[in-house]
Amino acid sequence: MRYDLGKGASENWLIGEDSFAAHHQGKAEALLCQGNGYLGQRAALEEAYAGQTRDLLVAGTFDRFQDEVTELPNLPDLTNLELFLDGERFSMLPDRTRGYLRYLDLRTGALRRELLWTGAGGKRFRLVFERFVSLENEHLIGFRTEIIPLDGDGEIRAETGIDGRVTNTGASHFLEGDKRVLDQRTMRMVSQTAQDHVSCCLHAGLKVLIDGEEQAVSWLPLIERRYLALRSSCTVPREKRWTLEKLCAVTTGRDRECRGAEDPAAAAAENGRILLQAALRDGYNALFSPSASAWEKVWARQDILIRSDRAQDQLMVRFALYHLNIMAHKGDSRVGVSAKGLTGEGYKCHSFWDTETYLLPYYALTQPETARSLLEYRYLGLSGARKKAKENGYEGAMYPWETALPEDGEVTPLWGQADVVTGKALPILTGLIEQHITADIALAVHFYKTVTGDEAFMDRCGDEILLDTALFWASRVTRDLEKQAWVILDVIGPDEYKEHVNNNAYTNYLACENMRLALETMEALRKAGGETYRRLDKQFCFDRLAPRLRDVIQKIFLPGPDEDGIVPQFDGYRSLRAIDLTPYKQAGEIRTIYHHYNLAQMSGLQVHKQADTLALMVQLPDLFSGEVIKKCFEYYEARTLHDSSLSKSTHCVLAARLGETEQARRFFEGCGDIDMGPNMHTSDAGIHAASMGGIWQCAVYGFGGVAVQADGLHIRPRLPGTWHLLSFPLVWQGQPLQITISGADIHVSHQGDRPVGLNIAGQNVLLQPGDVYRASSVCGA
Amino acid sequence: MRYDLGKGASENWLIGEDSFAAHHQGKAEALLCQGNGYLGQRAALEEAYAGQTRDLLVAGTFDRFQDEVTELPNLPDLTNLELFLDGERFSMLPDRTRGYLRYLDLRTGALRRELLWTGAGGKRFRLVFERFVSLENEHLIGFRTEIIPLDGDGEIRAETGIDGRVTNTGASHFLEGDKRVLDQRTMRMVSQTAQDHVSCCLHAGLKVLIDGEEQAVSWLPLIERRYLALRSSCTVPREKRWTLEKLCAVTTGRDRECRGAEDPAAAAAENGRILLQAALRDGYNALFSPSASAWEKVWARQDILIRSDRAQDQLMVRFALYHLNIMAHKGDSRVGVSAKGLTGEGYKCHSFWDTETYLLPYYALTQPETARSLLEYRYLGLSGARKKAKENGYEGAMYPWETALPEDGEVTPLWGQADVVTGKALPILTGLIEQHITADIALAVHFYKTVTGDEAFMDRCGDEILLDTALFWASRVTRDLEKQAWVILDVIGPDEYKEHVNNNAYTNYLACENMRLALETMEALRKAGGETYRRLDKQFCFDRLAPRLRDVIQKIFLPGPDEDGIVPQFDGYRSLRAIDLTPYKQAGEIRTIYHHYNLAQMSGLQVHKQADTLALMVQLPDLFSGEVIKKCFEYYEARTLHDSSLSKSTHCVLAARLGETEQARRFFEGCGDIDMGPNMHTSDAGIHAASMGGIWQCAVYGFGGVAVQADGLHIRPRLPGTWHLLSFPLVWQGQPLQITISGADIHVSHQGDRPVGLNIAGQNVLLQPGDVYRASSVCGA
């Protein structure tokens, strides 16, 4: 990928490529994916190449394929366009293509491709492809293709349609459905998923212009199995511009607009029809313009400015913000954020702890209404969590490791990749024993409360989550007679290279904190009285739950630092065998350790997939002394392969807090490489959503020095030497702030309407609306 | 395609291509398809290109996908092989590939590709790919890839496996199933179809050799969703030959070997395991050799020799014989022949009247045991035919227009391509009203009896088919008061451009002949007495059925020639509007009339898809005078677009019988063009099976002048002027004959063990075993 394509006003806004390799399409498809939270459309090229993945994913349309776990079904493809120029099929053969450039303009959300193509007969054509997914109307997608024959008249044949011959890695979710050409230029495909009966409706309409003049075109309808298209040919005079506009509407029976409708499928079809009719009347430009304006508004509110010696730092952060804005369906608490956003089929578009631990800080501190809807999604998921607890013999709410529809409960698949030793598929145990997610969600609820002060949410949802998760932990602990303590046995911690461990530090400390917060909540509720108190007391019986939690909190085993100052990741960790990790750390790709060890073997080695005990130290920064944190950082980092996209941002934030800003900078750059780096296959199944939140955390938590503590918002900037300016917005207690760090100086401007208190570089400060607080020489450890 | 690739001993045996176009892959995939009647494997290239269809189809494994009609499911792909040479993915980019040649050797069944490839760095590699589908053991497939680095050592990385991410045009039939690496180099994927629970088991094992020496290779197992593969890398010294052998076994729970097994799926898996073990021990060459020998035996028995002025005539007939030998699963009466053989997914691999009318003459006259098993398949289909009759309100056996599993009955889909006028999918009416197939099957039974004298088959199956189909027709006719006759209303004849016609000549005459044959059968049975008589009399009650048939035969409306000598295709045909067909007749592709007219409109026009009344004149040659046949031929041919692959062979045979050998020759060449011609998309969904039988009929019926008549076998050769020699084998009454026509001479050599009577050019001849009958000046009209 190229990051230096933008010049002038476009500088640091364009990401793209200037060469095309058929076997590396996945990266650009995912990175340049377009969307709006409702849908995601991968940037597969219009014409077909082997190795493409033409995903069109709509949030919340989960369907099961046969006996497999539920996933977002890949909707029929709209991007397809087969072009014949002077009778020859257009394809980007290397010796025929010049001036190839493809880029996503983050400012406007437009994806553009331009090139010069020479036919077998030597005649040249200039081609420009452009497309957008509307941020103004989430159902709309527009495509525009322009072709100019440069050497004499050009014969152009175009075939484009709605292609239902797509699958999720070979699994087809949709029934054949109804395909129809509605008038001479509009196509409609309506289909249902086979098992969960999600009705999806795709409309596409076509317009042809020559030099801007709309043409009357005779389209030939083609209907085949799972395929519907229109085909037409025309001769375009030399140097005239042929333009094809394809305008599309995507609607489903699970759309917000259709909830409660008597026949949601019919409502979706009708909504699509009306949308497309208007779209065809207005045309590409008129639809693109409000979408670009919507993007402008996003950037006006959210842009983070960076001036550093490495040009791509700025673009990398904007790229993260772009994806953070297209992965969440704002205001829709029926859907979560998938581990790959809507940019690919990876992890079956399920939600993980990634949302709460890596994304929620960003949302809570910049667009709290999105954070709230994501936590409401977890509230809706309480029924599924209770079901899981019950099935596993526990009380309370045990959140699923992977979630699809909130009420479905656990949807983690049971089998994964090959075991290198046995050649069999590996069982996936995370759904059974990676349990810290329940505490992660509880802590995220508390975090959101601290950041926003949203008591209404706490009354309605948050307190109940805190209590029900605490109840789970109280039922989850077992008594260890030797330790004379409550222990948590047989779990997987964040480091998934260790299965079946006892007293994972991360899990135990977070579970304890979860229970502590619940206890605090019960005390506050009891003091306040009122409706929520009565409802929850009735549900949980505070008189029974409170002493039970108090007992567990008092006696739960919380591993402290040993004689070397190392907090052991779990019981017996330090006696595991250490091996030389250099070859794996230096490999150009992740998970190469799997080429030599299987999981059972790795459980006996001092090797980690990702931060585990260090993640604990980011989550609960006051647990250990700076000295212990420093020792643990050095100790564990040396043993960590960073094989998870969640790892480097944790290390960055912690390194920055330790004052190791140069090391932090390297981890920050490593975060960018997870998707934007030179390994061309890391993002084939979609970008790493958590990593986008991680990049934001590196910048804002790490270098910006932001920390949300019990007593409020702290800011202690720590810019690396090569960074000269960092300016970012925050929303604290509903009040928008702009924090600008320039060299060793900090400016905080209060753009809200109520006073707010902050702690800036150790100073408690009360800012009035309109205030700009300035301080010098605050940057540093 | 190129037909002139073979030189010397290979002359007229090789068909292939010397250039590669990614958008024209379907033709070679289908034409060069390999198989053995049990399975068909399309000739998709090993490395991936957009537009490939990697079909692996196993006869009789029919499964329904959701609410659609049943079809042969596409099995997981074995052909895949991803190669990286010096780190660059191998793909046949035009400017990197030299000396490309790919050909199927019809003599041995081997498919070979050779080319010289230059990497980005300028280093050259010679690559040779070879594969076969065993004709000796129908479950075995072998692949061999040889690579020689020519300029220095070469780094070769190979990944190959079992890829279940295939679909039938987007529909996935298989559950995820079980994927496993059994030892370090053997893979197994076992999966069931979702609805009909057909268990399919694929084994694949790998061997690597350098300059013929087997190497110990460390394979990395890769298991992903629906995908299982092994990957390995090695460095090959300059000019050494790296060879990868991939040996595969395909078994299913519907295999003959598993019928009656307690657990057919387990039996199939075990059979596959044993086969693969032996295959890996023996290696590619040892497996290929007996398969090539089996092909040699086929050719020794069946080859047709042609010497003509057009070189490809010879190859074209051998190509037809090749496909005729891989489309039928010999001796397996549970499966029919699909309209595309096993070379593609077209027509969902269903069986049509094509089998009886276009293929059965070939099988009956050259390999009668295959003809018998195909008719036994229809016998097993009686239950489905009876069900269809009942559902439609008729008696007897009404054969399905499309058949899959014999007992399933009608499986014609209900919707087809787009209506150009309304834009909606067209209803498919053939399953409802194209009914002549019932008579086609009855006449084929009688034909088989005449050719073979196989009374045992007639007793067991044939007579019952004749009676039950006749009963259907007796119940199908209705009384026309004006005509004072029995009529057959509302049908589709062979010409499918006319729906809802009355008294289609083809249908009425064949129905009448069907009933006449039944009457004859009842009389003969009654005369002979015996077990079959008692069984069938009990079933059909001859005393009631015989007079009923006699009445219908006497009074059925059989349209005769009108004042112009034209037999009307159906009631009112001659008053339809005539239009200028020149643009459609001259178009390079078929069905272009659909661009301007829809089916409802075509029903009002004098335009035909294919021979209809003329097909009647081939089936029942004694119905009309030569003069009427000649007039009809000229009249109807002018109105026929030959948009069906069934049309030209009928015209060829009729033209030859009329003495128009030059015209016949043009139709013969047109038959070859259906699959082998310049239109690159005619065979995308598979070759035209009926056309292969049609080519044989052109040669043997047309130019060879063979006709099976009530009084026996007639031979009256009619070579076109440019044909100098035609020699073909026949089996008549179990006696093998070789007929050689050379100029105006004929030699008939009797290679059997019992005397046979023939009529050669009007002379009745009795040949003794070992006789060679010679006659001169017999060729001509």
Which value, in Å, is the radius of gyration of the alpha carbons in chain A? 27
Partner residue opposite B66 with nearest CB, options A194, A224, A227: A194
Residues of B whose CB is below 8 A from A95: 94-95
The answer to whether the Cβ–Cβ distance between A224 and B424 falls below 8 Å is: no
User: Residue A748: how many CA atoms within 13 Å on its side-chain side?
Assistant: 31
Is residue B80 a contact partner of residue B206, using CB atoms and an 8 Å limit?
A: no
Q: Residue A774's pLDDT band (boundaries 50, 70, 90)?
A: very high
Backbone angles phi, psi at B471, to 5 degrees: -60, -40
Chain A's closest residue to B67, CA to CA, is A175
Spatial contact of B425 and B418, defined as CB atoms under 8 Å apart: yes
Hey, are the CB atoms on A67 and B95 less than 8 Å from each other? no
How would residue B778 be classed by pLDDT, with cut points 50, 70 and 90?
Answer: confident
Eight-class DSSP state of B186:
E
pLDDT in tens, B453-504: 999 999 999 999 999 999 999 999 999 999 999 999 999 999 999 999 999 9
> Would you say residue A614 has pLDDT above 50?
yes
Round to whole Å and give the CA distance between B265 and B179: 15
Please tell me which of the candidates A95, A165, A169 has its beta carbon nearest to residue B95.
A95
pLDDT band at residue A780, thresholds of 50, 70 and 90? low
CA pair distance B178, B192, nearest whole angstrom: 10
User: What was the pLDDT predicted at A778?
Assistant: 80
Round to whole Å and give the CA distance between A484 and A489.
14
State the nearest Cα–Cα gap between B166 and chain A, in angstroms: 6
Q: Is the pLDDT of residue A773 over 80?
A: yes
What is the average pLDDT across B698-702?
A: 98
- Per-residue pLDDT for A472 more than 70? yes
| Contact check, Cβ <8 Å, A595/B49 | no
For a pLDDT cut of 90, what percent of chain A falls above it? 91
Above 80 in pLDDT, residue B761?
A: yes
Mean pLDDT for B66-76 is 95
pLDDT tens, position by position, B564-582: 999 999 999 999 999 999 9
**pLDDT of A258 strictly over 60:** yes
Nearest to B417 among A23, A165, A223 (CB): A223
Question: Where in A408-509 does DSSP place strands (E)?
Answer: 415-418, 425-427, 478-480, 485-487
Q: Which of A160, A156, A138, A139 is nearest to A148 (CA)?
A: A156
Helix (H) or strand (E) holding B505: helix B505-528
Residues of B in contact with A595 (CB under 8 A): 220
Q: A170 contacts in B (CB within 8 Å)?
A: 164-167, 172, 225-227
Instruction: Output the pLDDT for position B553.
Output: 98
Measured between alpha carbons, how far is B495 from A559 in angstroms, rounded to an integer?
Answer: 84
Closest CB to B175 among A67, A93, A180: A67
B225, A170: Cβ pair inside 8 Å? yes
The residues near B366 (Cβ < 8 Å, ≥ 6 apart) are B301, B302, B729, B730, B731
Please indicate whether, in this complex, the C-beta atoms of A170 and B169 are within 8 angstroms of each other.
no
Residue A533 has pLDDT above 50, yes or no: yes
Average confidence (pLDDT) over B175-196? 93
Q: Band of the pLDDT at A781, cuts 50, 70, 90?
A: very low
If you average pLDDT over residues B106-120, what whole number do you get?
97
| B617 contacts B650 by C-beta, under 8 angstroms | no
Please name the member of A94, A224, A595 whose beta carbon is closest to the beta carbon of B417: A224
pLDDT score of B781 more than 60: no
Average pLDDT for chain A: 95
Asked if pLDDT for residue A197 goes beyond 80, the answer is: yes
* Contact (CB<8Å) B66/A22: no
Active site residues of B: 496
Q: What is the pLDDT of residues B390-415, one digit of tens each?
A: 999 999 999 999 999 999 999 999 88
Q: Verify whether the Cβ–Cβ distance B51 to A48 is below 8 Å.
A: yes
Measured between alpha carbons, how far is A213 from B376 in angstroms, rounded to an integer? 65
Sheet holding A39-41, edge to edge: A34-35, A39-41, A56-58
Mean pLDDT of the region A589-603? 87
Residues A543-551: what's their mean pLDDT? 98
Nearest residue of A to residue B594 by CA position?
A: A220
Q: Which residues of A are less than 8 Å from B52 in CB distance? A: 50
Each residue of B119-161: pLDDT tens digit? 999 999 999 999 999 999 999 999 999 999 999 999 999 999 9
Burial of A673 (0-12, 13-18, 19+ CB in 10 A): middle
What gap in Å lies between CA A673 and CA A637, rounded to an integer? 18
* pLDDT tens for each residue of B677-694: 988 899 999 999 999 999
CA distance A268 to chain B (A): 20
Would the pLDDT of A776 be above 60? yes
Residue of B71, B172, B178 to mutate, interface with A, max A Cβ within 10 Å: B172
**What does the alpha-carbon distance between residue B752 and residue B756 come to, in Å, rounded to a whole number?**
9
CB contact (8 A) between residue B180 and residue A22: no
Pairing of strands A178-181, A186-192: antiparallel
Q: What is the pLDDT, as a whole number, of residue B780? A: 61
pLDDT tens-digit series, residues A212-251:
999 999 999 999 999 999 999 999 999 999 999 999 999 9
Please give the Cα distance from B531 to B520 (Å, whole number): 18
What pLDDT, on the 0 to 100 scale, is given for residue A594? 85
Per-residue pLDDT of A95-132, as tens digits, reads 899 999 999 999 999 999 999 999 999 999 999 999 99
Residue A450 sits at the vertex; the CA angle it makes with A445 and A455, to the nearest 5 degrees, is 75
Model pTM? 0.94
- Which of B223, B415, B599, B681 is most worth mutating to test chain A (most A CB atoms within 10 A of its CB)? B223
Q: Distance (Å) from the C-alpha of residue A399 to the closest C-alpha of chain B? A: 26
- ipTM value: 0.92
